[in-house]
């Protein structure tokens, strides 16, 4: 299988290190499975600003629009804290999401059995956890107008506007219902309809979409603050959670820590189908650029590896191969291999970033 195009944007901090381990797996697929990817690489974030004076060059944006999928490492770092807001590294990522119209952010929170004791919650609460948070990504309070810091009388006021249209809510709701049909067939929609008009509209539209086309899926509604509490109390009650941009940002990070480490969690951001029928897509680990450990071989590459597995599943229709990668990760963890973020247990084997990548490739070999 060929002509699967992939743009790799390693980014800043530990991004290049974790992406190097994904490149090993991409090479393995070409050598061992006859699946070759047309890979191009470019800059995003702080490194792009250093070279181009912008966190995302127009040429890079054009490449992202043309490929089947984009795989990103991480952006940002204290070096760039004093830049103008318009050219901060994170603006490159936001531009990718906005111009590719990546409206559905998929954030799985899965607890591997080997790491159940690593969560801050009791083992029986998190063991076997497998939930998916679908976060609306291109609208809401992060993009609404008016926004800014203005002078009113003798003081400044900061303004951000929460804004959603029916069509924006409908399309992310449909994405959540479609995912649920392939999982546990349950969706919980979270908003703040008790105090926000946008929350009232959100609940109404999700309910309408459900009644019209997804009555076979179990639907429930929950206020987002109550949802945060329930995620900490008994997260396994959920299958798919769908929510807006702001609440999704908060809830998905809370869910991430149920699994023990941000270094374990991937994400996918999906848009409308292209001419090929594949959705526009960006895949990235949930963790940040971690500049304090960059270049030391301490970074955990698993989240980036699992992000590539999500690309196999959602962009390349290779669900069985995605399962293969995920099972390879599960095997190395069961064998006791741990990067620096996962140390603390007795009887485990500390490994570097590169050694973890090599172990995953060895587990892929063993799967054949």
Average pLDDT over the chain reads 94
Residues annotated as catalytic (active site), given as ranges: 142, 192, 225, 249, 253
Tally of CB atoms within 10 A around 322: 19
Catalogue all structural domains in the chain, each as residue range(s) with its CATH number: 1-111+262-368 (3.40.718.10), 130-258 (3.40.718.10)
Residues 6+ apart with CB under 8 A from 323: none
Return the pLDDT at 19: 98
Is 203 flagged in the annotation as binding? no
CA dihedral 204, 136, 120, 292 (to 10 degrees): -160
Q: Is the pLDDT of residue 276 over 80?
A: no
The C-alpha atoms of residue 23 and residue 355 are separated, in whole angstroms, by: 14
Is 288 flagged in the annotation as binding? yes
Return the pLDDT at 205: 98
pLDDT band at 8 (very low <50, low <70, confident <90, very high): very high
Q: Is the pLDDT of residue 1 over 60?
A: no
Measure CA 28 to chain center.
24
Q: Is the pLDDT of residue 201 over 90?
A: yes
Return the pLDDT at 104: 96
The C-alpha atoms of residue 282 and residue 267 are separated, in whole angstroms, by: 8
Q: Is the pLDDT of residue 108 over 60?
A: yes
Count CA atoms within 13 Å of residue 271 on its CB side.
20
Is 213 flagged in the annotation as binding? no
The C-alpha atoms of residue 148 and residue 26 are separated, in whole angstroms, by: 43
Give Cα separations from 295 to 128, 178, 239, 262 (angstroms).
33, 40, 37, 19
Is 290 flagged in the annotation as binding? yes
Buried b (16+ CB within 10 A) or exposed e, 79-114: ebeeeeeebbbebbbbbbbbbbebbbbbbbbbbbeb
What's the pLDDT tens digit per position in 288-320?
999 999 999 999 999 999 999 999 999 999 999
Return the pLDDT at 256: 80
Please state whether the peptide bond connecting residue 146 to the residue before it is cis, i.e. omega within 30 degrees of 0.
yes
Give mean pLDDT, residues 335-354.
91
Give mean pLDDT, residues 108-134.
87
Contact in structure between 74 and 290 (CB atoms under 8 Å):
yes
Measure CA 168 to chain center.
19
pLDDT band at 127 (very low <50, low <70, confident <90, very high): confident
Is 107 flagged in the annotation as binding? yes
Q: Best-predicted range by mean pLDDT among 14-23, 116-125, 127-136, 270-279?
A: 14-23
Q: Is the pLDDT of residue 283 over 60?
A: yes
Rg, C-alpha atoms of the chain:
20
- Give the percent of the chain with pLDDT over 90: 83
Return the pLDDT at 115: 83
Instruction: Write out the DSSP string of 298-358.
Output: ----HHHHHHHHHHHHHTS--HHHHHHHHHHHHHHHHTTEE-GGG--STT-EE--HHHHHH
Give mean pLDDT, residues 146-155.
96
Is 215 flagged in the annotation as binding? no
Give mean pLDDT, residues 78-98.
94
Helices 15-32, 353-367: crossing angle, 10 deg rounding: 20
Is 79 flagged in the annotation as binding? yes
What's the pLDDT tens digit per position in 13-42?
999 999 999 999 999 999 999 999 999 999
């Amino acid at each position: 299988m060929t002509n699967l195009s992939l743009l790799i944007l390693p980014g800043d901090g530990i991004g290049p290190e974790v992406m190097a381990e994904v490149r090993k797996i991409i090479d393995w697929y070409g050598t061992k499975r006859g699946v070759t990817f047309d890979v191009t690489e470019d800059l995003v974030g702080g490194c792009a600003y250093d070279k181009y004076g912008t966190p995302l060059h127009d040429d890079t944006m054009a490449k992202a629009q043309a490929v089947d999928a984009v795989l990103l490492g991480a952006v940002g770092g204290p070096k760039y804290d004093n830049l103008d807001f318009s050219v901060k590294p994170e603006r490159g990522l936001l531009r990718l999401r906005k111009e590719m119209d990546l409206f559905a952010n998929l954030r799985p929170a899965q607890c591997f059995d080997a790491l159940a004791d690593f969560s801050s919650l009791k083992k029986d609460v998190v063991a076997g956890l497998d939930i998916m948070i679908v976060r609306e990504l291109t609208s809401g309070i992060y993009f609404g107008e008016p926004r800014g810091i203005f002078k009113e009388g003798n003081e400044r006021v900061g303004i951000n506007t929460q804004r959603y249209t029916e069509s924006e809510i409908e399309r992310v709701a449909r994405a959540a219902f479609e995912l649920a049909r392939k999982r546990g067939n349950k969706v919980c929609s979270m908003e703040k309809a008790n105090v926000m008009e946008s929350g009232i509209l959100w609940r109404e539209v999700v309910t309408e979409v459900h009644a019209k086309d997804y009555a076979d899926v179990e639907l429930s509604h929950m206020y987002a603050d109550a949802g945060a509490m329930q995620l900490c109390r008994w997260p396994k009650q959920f299958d798919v959670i769908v929510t807006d941009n702001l609440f999704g940002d908060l809830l998905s990070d809370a869910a991430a820590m149920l699994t023990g480490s941000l270094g374990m969690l991937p994400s996918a951001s999906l848009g409308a189908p292209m001419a090929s029928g594949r959705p526009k897509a960006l895949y990235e680990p949930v963790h940040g650029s971690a500049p304090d450990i960059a270049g030391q071989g301490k970074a955990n590459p698993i989240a980036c590896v699992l992000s590539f597995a999500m690309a196999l599943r959602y962009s390349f229709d290779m669900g069985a191969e995605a399962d293969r990668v995920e099972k390879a990760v599960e095997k190395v963890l069961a064998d006791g291999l741990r990067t620096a973020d996962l140390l603390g247990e007795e009887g485990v084997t500390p490994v570097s970033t590169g050694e973890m990548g090599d172990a995953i490739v060895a587990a892929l070999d063993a799967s054949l």
